[in-house]
């Protein structure tokens, strides 16, 4: 059954809402097949998402102003396709329902307090983005407000007003645990700045992934589809030999590392973001996992120190742009027997595999549909030393 959204196809959030899910999966399989057809592997399969709607547990929406008669009103929503014009959201079929309700409450709060929306051309206005996170396993919700200015005067009183508006909009098993202001005064498309103030509560949510406990702040990277994340991580897990010594490159908050820990002898995560490394170490302690450690540093710089230490495998989960040339050269020359490459961009995945093809052989590729109703797909590639 195809469900309709009043913003489709103008909104850039979803691109495939006019196709049933089986057709979406078929198209994603075909895309992977064409991309990797030059390799001698079986036809890639795609793991379907257990939930097709309301799966996003992180919501990031820009503010804007729209003309309403002779005045302007605050708008909040996704950008229209291929523009930076904000679609003033009335519904969303892929965001968690409670996060959507909180977002609309924040829009009402902004109008009530007279908080102005940021204008990209004039670089004026206070509110730039809303960033919301919800723990699927805990029901905790964190409200983030990205602003074009320093700490708001009277943040305590306006926080109370915001809580009074949004708390009644969420479920009885959910709770707002914090309101955080992130300051970003730069002329940039990068959403978050470097300075944060806690207006109320605490700056993180607690989350459960399977039996694992995590703390997630505003800037923490974590998969947005918690229903499908275990399937993604299990795809990596099943391709790692029992008792292996594993490197986890671009490990973020250590979620893959800790997911592997019960099966492997040891796992060492390397991550450039020091805040993420601190979160990974906290998570290892929370879960009483002793065979995982985490290193803060650039992969290309830290990798030579570890690939010569008898590690068997590496899990690689880089940003969308894929691997840099130095890291590829280091991996090519390494003695690692297996690479399990987790990619949010199959095109850069194929590029990187082709650059290692003299030393490594692609064994298989599996798609994991983390983002139903969009063109995006995660892929897990198993790559063995020749």
The rounded distance, in Å, linking the Cα atoms of 187 and 244 is 46
128-to-156, 234, 259, 272 alpha-carbon distances in Å: 20, 37, 35, 27
Which residue in the block uniquely carries the two structure tokens 């820990």? Answer: 261
The rounded distance, in Å, linking the Cα atoms of 57 and 236 is 22
Of all helices (H) and strands (E), which one includes residue 178? strand 175-183
Hey, is 62 helix, strand or coil? strand
Strands lying side by side in the sheet with 195-201: 71-76, 58-68, 127-134, 140-147, 175-183, 195-201
| Closest to 22 in 3D by CA, of 373, 355, 380 | 373
Hey, is 113 helix, strand or coil? helix
Active-site annotation, residues: 344
The rounded distance, in Å, linking the Cα atoms of 169 and 173 is 12
Of all helices (H) and strands (E), which one includes residue 146? strand 140-147
Of all helices (H) and strands (E), which one includes residue 155? helix 155-166
């Amino acid at each position: 059954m195809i469900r309709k959204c009043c913003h489709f196809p103008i909104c850039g959030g979803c691109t495939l809402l006019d196709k049933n899910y089986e057709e979406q999966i078929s198209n994603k399989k075909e895309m992977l097949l064409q991309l990797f057809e030059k390799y001698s592997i079986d036809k890639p399969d795609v793991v379907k998402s257990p939930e097709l709607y309301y799966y996003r547990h992180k919501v990031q929406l820009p503010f804007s102003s729209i003309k309403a008669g002779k005045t302007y009103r605050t708008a909040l929503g996704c950008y229209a396709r291929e523009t930076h014009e904000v679609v003033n959201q009335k519904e969303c079929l892929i965001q968690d329902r409670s996060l959507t309700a909180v977002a609309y409450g924040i829009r009402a709060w902004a109008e009530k307090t007279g908080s102005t929306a940021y204008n990209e051309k004039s670089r004026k206005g206070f509110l730039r983005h809303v960033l919301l996170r919800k723990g699927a396993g805990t029901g905790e919700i964190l409200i983030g407000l990205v602003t074009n200015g320093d700490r708001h005067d009277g943040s305590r009183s306006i926080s109370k007003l915001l809580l009074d508006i949004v708390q009644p909009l969420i479920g009885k098993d959910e709770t707002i645990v914090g309101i955080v202001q992130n300051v970003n005064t730069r002329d940039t498309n990068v959403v978050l700045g470097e300075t944060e103030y806690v207006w109320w509560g605490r700056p993180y949510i607690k989350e459960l992934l399977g039996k694992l406990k995590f703390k997630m702040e505003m800037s923490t990277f974590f998969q947005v589809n918690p229903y499908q994340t275990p399937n993604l991580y299990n795809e990596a897990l099943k391709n790692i030999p029992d008792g292996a010594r594993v490197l986890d490159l671009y490990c973020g908050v250590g979620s893959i590392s800790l997911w592997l820990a019960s099966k492997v002898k040891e796992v060492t995560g390397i991550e450039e973001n020091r805040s993420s490394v601190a979160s990974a170490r906290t998570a290892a302690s929370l879960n009483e996992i002793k065979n995982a450690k985490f290193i803060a540093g650039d992969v290309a710089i830290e990798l030579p120190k570890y690939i010569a230490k008898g590690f068997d495998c590496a899990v690689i989960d880089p940003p969308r742009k894929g691997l840099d040339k130095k890291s590829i050269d280091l991996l090519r020359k390494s003695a690692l027997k297996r690479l399990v490459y987790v990619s949010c961009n199959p095109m850069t995945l194929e590029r990187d595999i082709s650059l290692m093809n003299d030393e490594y052989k692609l064994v298989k590729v599996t798609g994991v549909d983390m983002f139903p109703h969009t063109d995006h797909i995660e892929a897990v590639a198993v790559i063995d030393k020749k």
